[in-house]
A and B are shown apart, each in its own frame.
Chain A
Amino acid sequence: MIQHARVICTSFLVAALGLSAAAIAQKPFADVGKQPPITILIGSTPWYPAFEKVVGIYEQQTGNKIKLDVVPFGGILEKARNAVRSGQSPYDLMTLDTQWTIEFYDGGFLSPLKEIDAAFELPKEVLSYGDSGYWNAQKRWRTADGGKLMAYTVLGNVQLLYYRGDVLKQAGIAPPKTWDDVLAACAKLNEPPKMYGFVARGEKGNGIRYDWQSVMLAERASVAKDPAAGDYTVTINSPQAKAALDLYIDLLKRCGPPNYGSLGQGDVIQLLATGKAAMGDVVTAAFASFEDPNKSAVVGKLDTVALPRGRSGANGAVIGNWNAGIPKNASDPQKKAALSFLRWFVTYDAQHAFAENGGIPNRSDVFTSDLAKQPRFRWMPAYLETQKFAQQELGYAEGAQVEQVLGLRLNQALIGEMSSAKALNTAAREIEDIFRKSGRKTGTLPPLPE
């Protein structure tokens, strides 16, 4: 009876708030009990609206309050650092880019989830995202092997190969399976300035580092030999890495616009959205905006496949996810409340709702649900396919510094300030230096002939 009344009551509230009719009929996704209000630090991202809606459903269903402190993307890290470095944290849950989480794991700023509640387990359907939520404090490396669960993925992004279904079809080209296919296709499609064959990020910094590493993985190259085993011998100046870099430079120069050396994510999306690019290497999260007629001239025309294989025959993709963790300096009841939300959030129902509202779910079963059949979720198969080989990169404490090195040297090779061999040799030397300073077992390959 009471249960009934609550459902009705909730229904009215939900209806009053204008939420989708689908939500009204749903029963609570999971029972987490009464919890004190919590505050979540979250960035302003394209998937934020979906998250906000799901939080709204959580509040409806549980009556627990959540305050969302939405901060600009450029301010999240700053806010998170401030929060954990002094006094009591104003946040009880913080969503952080995977690259940033390392610093928080390593500094011991997050409470391992099992220390808050020993019984907490992630459902097995939840994708692992390269163990990015685990931290092995001895190895200073993200791995479930001997690592503690510190955080888990709120949103998992991977790069996908977007292509214009209509354009490729007309040209009689099948969706590329290898990077050589991409080169071949763009040789046919490239018709600047009307149409560029393929676009990806060449911008200095995170942009080129991230996009290039997919190709690097596809050529079976690596930055460090075997971090899992503690072997940090730098392998970035291997012949395979050089092949990957040469291929990437080739792709961007031959298929992209003349400003390939400064293309960022926004530029790549802009070129695809305006119909100026036939193919592009873009994050999954951008898909929704290509389907929004206010933002895209190619609604319904872009399809996705997993990023292509390299000449080595391997696939490569880098995971770029957002992890949520609980600050060590939050109060115990708040921590429990935050964990309760997490527990609720990873249920199938919550993830289903998250996907429906435009988020990327983190459970494999949602990808095989009814949603996958809908055209607007046509990216799901490619995404799930990518999960089989996608990897976390730079998942060690020195990651941020290594990214700086790669971000500059790769860009310099791209714009011709250095040869690719010299760029990689330089990067190898610098990265080795970083590893040595932090006391890793390291070394480097013999330099590539320049």
Chain B
Amino acid sequence: MNTSATALSLPRSATTTPATAVGGGWIGTTLLALAVAAVLGPFAWILTASFKYQIAIYSGEWPFTPTLSNYAEVLFGRRSDFVGNVVNSLIVASASTALVLVVGTLAAYSLQRFRWPVWVSAGFLGWTLVFHMIPVMTLIGPWYVAFRELGLYDTRIALILTHVTINLPMTVWLMRAFFRELPPEIEEAALVDGCRPLEAFRRVTLPLVIPGLIASGILAFIFSWNEFPVALSLTSRDLATVPVAIARFAQQYEIQHSQMAAASIVSTIPAVILMALGQRFIVRGLTLGAVK
């Protein structure tokens, strides 16, 4: 979770960080405190709601008698597949994130570094953007048909592939922005020093865009984690993901807020842990790769 673990940052005493140059001071601290409070406020509300009975939520009761029944219902309820849903989501989100990082980063690098004809680069980037603009609801029908024809309906592969596709535009654009800020001489130095192009990319270029990789990775993970319509359409109950499961609490006549809150909390924890592990993996893998 801590980027100061990246080799990019320095012992604090040695230099100023980008932002101590601008931020800092009591105004910054106050703003930060306000922001954290604003973010955490509703989240704290969700947390307390997860320990409340529905009626206590309804009537905005405070203080309230806490109960673990919502968690019990979500985790161990006879009708609950929630643990399975979380596992599904973890698999789909981490696999699609890993894939989209590989595919997207390579594509972004290729577009930024190699001289492609304009129709290729502009065409590809433009297409990704236009695709990103399309309301997903209009895409689902054809996807459903295609995956059913391929026998991939109700498999994780179908879901992972679509999530990679959905997240690819943002990954490519974001990574391109980071590659753009890298001076090409550093890679050239690596080539002269004895790297093959792919080696230079992995040992020198990638470690320098770790912040970008982490941001793209977190975003891809979260978007996959929260993606609802495709996950709903391409899977059935056994492979349902967290958002589909949580949407089940929004019933026709009532929203089961207490269980929804508990489910939201339960699903947040593994996601945060996995993101932290993923970051560490990226940082470690790339910095070690550069040194060894």
Give me the interface of A with B, judged by CB distance under 8 Å.
39, 43-46, 48-49, 52, 67-75, 78-79, 81-82, 85-87, 90, 97, 265-266, 269-270, 273-274, 283, 285-286, 289, 293-297
Contacts and interface: CB of A to CB of B under 8 A. Distances in A.
B201 to A, nearest CB: 41
Contacts of A81: 141
Nearest to B243: A72
A73 B233 contact: no
Nearest to A41: B236
Residue of B54, B58, B79 with most partner-chain A CB within 10 A: B58
Contacts of A289: 254
Contact of A72 (B54, B59, B248): B248
A178 B233 CA distance: 46
Nearest to A293: B55
A15 B248 CA distance: 29
B160 interface: no
Contacts of B254: 46, 265-266, 269, 286, 289, 295
B253 A46 contact: yes
B237 A69 contact: yes
B161 interface: no
A273 B58 contact: yes
A112 B248 CA distance: 30
Interface of B: 53-55, 58-59, 69, 79, 140-141, 144-145, 148-149, 153-154, 229, 232-233, 236-237, 240, 244, 247-255
A43 B247 CA distance: 11
B248 to A, nearest CB: 4
16 contacts: A46-B253, A67-B237, A69-B236, A71-B240, A72-B250, A73-B250, A78-B140, A82-B140, A82-B233, A86-B148, A90-B153, A265-B252, A266-B254, A273-B58, A274-B59, A294-B55
Given A49-B79, A78-B233, A294 B144 contact: no
A344 B253 CA distance: 27
Contacts of B236: 39, 69, 90
A300 to B, nearest CB: 14
Contacts of A90: 153-154, 236
Contacts of A44: 247-251
Contacts of B253: 45-46, 265-266, 269, 283, 285-286
Contact of A70 (B229, B233, B237): B237
A62 B135 CA distance: 45
A52 B237 contact: no
Q: Which of A43, A72, A286 has the most CB of B within 10 A?
A: A72
Contacts of A43: 251-252
A58 to B, nearest CB: 16
Given A48-B79, A274-B55, 14 more contacts: A44-B248, A44-B250, A71-B244, A71-B248, A72-B247, A72-B250, A74-B247, A75-B233, A82-B233, A90-B153, A97-B252, A265-B254, A274-B58, A285-B253
Contacts of B58: 270, 273-274, 295, 297
A75 B240 CA distance: 12
Given A265-B254, A273-B55, A79 B141 contact: no
Contact of A75 (B55, B153, B232): B232
Contacts of A74: 247, 250
A266 B255 contact: yes
B289 to A, nearest CB: 43
Nearest to B237: A69
> Across chains A and B, which 9 residue pairs bring their CB atoms closest together, nearest first?
A72-B247, A44-B248, A295-B54, A294-B53, A75-B232, A274-B59, A82-B144, A73-B252, A86-B145
A45 B252 contact: yes
Contacts of B251: 43-46, 73
B79 A52 contact: yes
A160 to B, nearest CB: 13
B252 A46 contact: yes
B235 to A, nearest CB: 10
B250 A296 contact: no
Contacts of A269: 253-254
A230 B145 CA distance: 37
A269 B58 CA distance: 10
Contacts of A49: 79
B7 to A, nearest CB: 45
B53 A72 contact: no
A166 B27 CA distance: 56
A82 B233 CA distance: 8
B255 to A, nearest CB: 5
Contacts of A68: 237
Nearest to A272: B58
A79 B232 contact: yes
B148 A87 contact: yes
A450 B247 CA distance: 43
Contacts of B145: 85-87
A447 to B, nearest CB: 36
A381 to B, nearest CB: 21
Contacts of B79: 48-49, 52, 70
A297 B55 CA distance: 7
A294 B69 contact: yes
Contact of A296 (B55, B141, B237): B55
Nearest to B232: A75
B141 A85 contact: yes
A72 B246 CA distance: 8
Contacts of A273: 55, 58
